[in-house]
Every structure is written in C-alpha cells, then in structure tokens.
C-alpha cells in the first residue's frame, strides 16, 4: 500500500500538470458514476489527505480516489496515448485543454487512473464525508497548528494497543504506512508490539512527521531512512528479513501480518535493537518470529 508521502507526491504532480486546465472529455469507468460528465469544468487542483486524493473542479465538485494496494495515476503529455495492454485497467480518464505550456484551446495533458479501487464524486463542501474521520495529516498544511498534539491525544486514547497497530490507524494520524511504521519503531528502539501506554509518544510522533517531510522535500531522500541510497541499504529493517541489522548485526526478523490489519501487512524488526520490554517477556512465552 502506498505511504502518505507517495500519495502527497502524486497529488503534487497532478496539481502541477492539471491545475488551470479544462476538462474536454471525461470517462469514469465505475458503475456508480459511469454516466457522469465533467466536460467544461475547470480543474482547480489536487490535494492529498493522508492516503486519499481529492481532485477539485469548478462548480463545487470533487473526485475522491484512493490507491490502496494497486491503484495509480499517470499524466500523459498532449498527443500521447496509453499502451493497449493497460487499457482494461483504466478507471478514470480526464482529457483536458490548456494548462502550463499549452495554448488556450489546444489539447492539454490527459490524466488516467489505473486499477483504482476507490473512485467517487462528492460535493466539495462534503469532502468531510470521505476524509473527515482521518486524524491529523502528517504532511498537511495545518500539521504545525496543533497536529502533533492532536495525534498524541488520539494515540493515547487506547493505551493497550500495540504501537505499530496504532500508528497504522489513519484515525490517529494520517499518512503512516507499513514501511514508515516499522522504520519509526526501529529508530525509537521499540518492539512493534509494545503497548502505546508504555511509549513516549511526543518524540515518536515528531520523528515520523520529520521523516515524511524529509522524504518529500529533499531530492534523493524519498523513503530513505538510513541515509544510504545503495540497493538494499536504504531501510533499517523493512525488506531485510534474514539479513544482518545494519546497526548491530543481529538477524532481522519478519512476522507475516499485523494483528487486526485487514491488509495483513508484514512487520520487520531487529530483536536486539528493539527488545521486548522485560515486564512482558514472561517465562514460557513464545518468542516472536
């Protein structure tokens, strides 16, 4: 599943390529909106909210999309067409006129959503119906205005939850995916199953927010947590099961799924750098792995 920084960068690309264009032809290939016609509407821009994308049009209409595991957006330059092999995967097509570097009235870029599992039109004034449940957005403009404090408050509400499960819950803070959750736990020296009530939450939240911001703002730093961009060394633990920890040399472990996670995402961790708290490592308890 894409991380919040991935979706943020998609939104930035869509905004840069489409804002200021006018839709000349639209095709929403989902049953609910198969007859919708966005022709003649100006594209006002695209924003991300956690892992959700909101493309806004004149007339108070918003296209809400969510990539989940397989969805993607691509923007074709004027005159370019999709390869025939991916045509069956098209869920949204927005052909435009005008835009940056394009003369008025001339064909502009075409935005295409492929294998998109969530496609819906909502009134812009009602965007809260689809994203209002989300916690503070780590990459949102309002993060600095109390977002971190609100995230800590929400995380603290259920102190018995495992810290990784809590980080993945978009109702607590929006934008953390599996990779960032595992890497954050490593960097804070936390066993991923540590109860939230045992975690110093403010520095945890500050760290993950700082890392996501760094990922989208610094060239070459996208989803690099170690500072080393070489193949196989950009992450501390994610994707390194069976390999030595880059910090201590202990074999990195992986567990098949996160308890209660419908996506059944894996968890990577270093048992030495992220020891299970002694208070919970009771005799006879089966070791994780």
Residues 6+ apart with CB under 8 A from 247: 236, 270, 273
The DSSP element (H or E) to which 155 belongs, if any, is: helix 148-156
Cα 29-133-130 angle, rounded to 5 deg: 20
Distance in angstroms (rounded) separating the CA atoms of residues 14 and 25: 17
Indicate which residues carry an active-site annotation: 2-3, 51, 265
Distance in angstroms (rounded) separating the CA atoms of residues 108 and 22: 8
Burial 57-81 (b: 16+ CB within 10 A, else e): beeebbbbbbbeeebebebeeeeee
Distance in angstroms (rounded) separating the CA atoms of residues 63 and 57: 8
Contact 138, 212 (CB under 8 A): yes
């Amino acid at each position: 599943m894409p991380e919040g920084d991935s979706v943020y960068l998609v939104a930035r690309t869509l905004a840069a390529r489409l804002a200021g264009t006018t839709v000349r032809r639209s095709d929403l290939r989902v049953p609910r909106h198969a007859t919708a016609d966005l022709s003649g509407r100006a594209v006002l821009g695209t924003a991300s909210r956690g892992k959700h994308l909101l493309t806004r049009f004149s007339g108070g209409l918003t296209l809400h999309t969510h990539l989940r595991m397989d969805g993607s957006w691509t923007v074709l330059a004027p005159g370019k067409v999709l390869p025939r092999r991916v045509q069956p995967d098209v869920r949204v097509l927005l052909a435009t006129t005008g835009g940056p570097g394009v003369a008025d009235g001339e064909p502009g870029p075409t935005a295409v959503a492929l294998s998109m599992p969530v496609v819906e039109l909502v009134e812009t004034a009602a965007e809260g119906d689809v994203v209002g449940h989300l916690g503070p957005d780590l990459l949102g403009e309002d993060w600095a205005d109390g977002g971190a404090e609100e995230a800590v408050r929400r995380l603290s509400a259920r102190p018995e939850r495992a810290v990784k499960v809590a980080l993945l819950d978009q109702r607590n803070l929006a934008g953390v995916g599996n990779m960032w959750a595992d890497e954050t736990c490593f960097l804070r020296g936390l066993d991923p199953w540590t109860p939230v009530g045992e975690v110093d939450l403010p520095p945890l939240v500050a760290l993950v927010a700082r890392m996501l911001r760094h990922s989208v703002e610094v060239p070459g730093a996208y989803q690099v947590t170690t500072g080393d961009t070489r193949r196989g060394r950009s992450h501390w633990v994610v994707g390194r099961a069976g390999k030595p920890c880059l910090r201590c040399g202990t074999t990195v472990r992986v567990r098949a799924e996160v308890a209660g996670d419908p996506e059944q995402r894996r968890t990577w961790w270093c048992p030495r750098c992220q020891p299970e708290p002694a208070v919970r490592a009771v005799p006879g308890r089966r070791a994780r792995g």
